[in-house]
Amino acid sequence: MVVGIGTDIVSISRIERAVSKRPAFAKRILSEKELLFFFERNSSPAFLAGRFASKEAVMKALGTGLSQGIRFKDIEIIYKNK
């Protein structure tokens, strides 16, 4: 069942600025598994931007946004092997 459709676009430079202002930014938006993957991949700002945009899109699709108690860390984006 599809609850809704959500899309989001974020600038990589915006995420780079967020990380420079708040070094713990990645820990605020990534799950534990995502954090491990992030650090294994040289802490790429593009990876963070992708996760941030994906999680915002999920919140939009669910119609919750940040105001209804769902945190970025509560959503985990995983890769499925083919």
pLDDT in tens, 3-28: 677 778 899 999 999 999 998 999 99
pLDDT for position 64: 72
Q: What is the pTM of this model?
A: 0.82
pLDDT for position 28: 92
Concatenate the DSSP letters of all residues of 10-67 into one string: --HHHHHHHHHH-TTHHHHHS-HHHHHHHHHTTT-HHHHHHHHHHHHHHHHHHT--GG
The class (CATH top level) of 12-74 is alpha beta
How does residue 67 score in pLDDT terms, banded at 50, 70 and 90? low
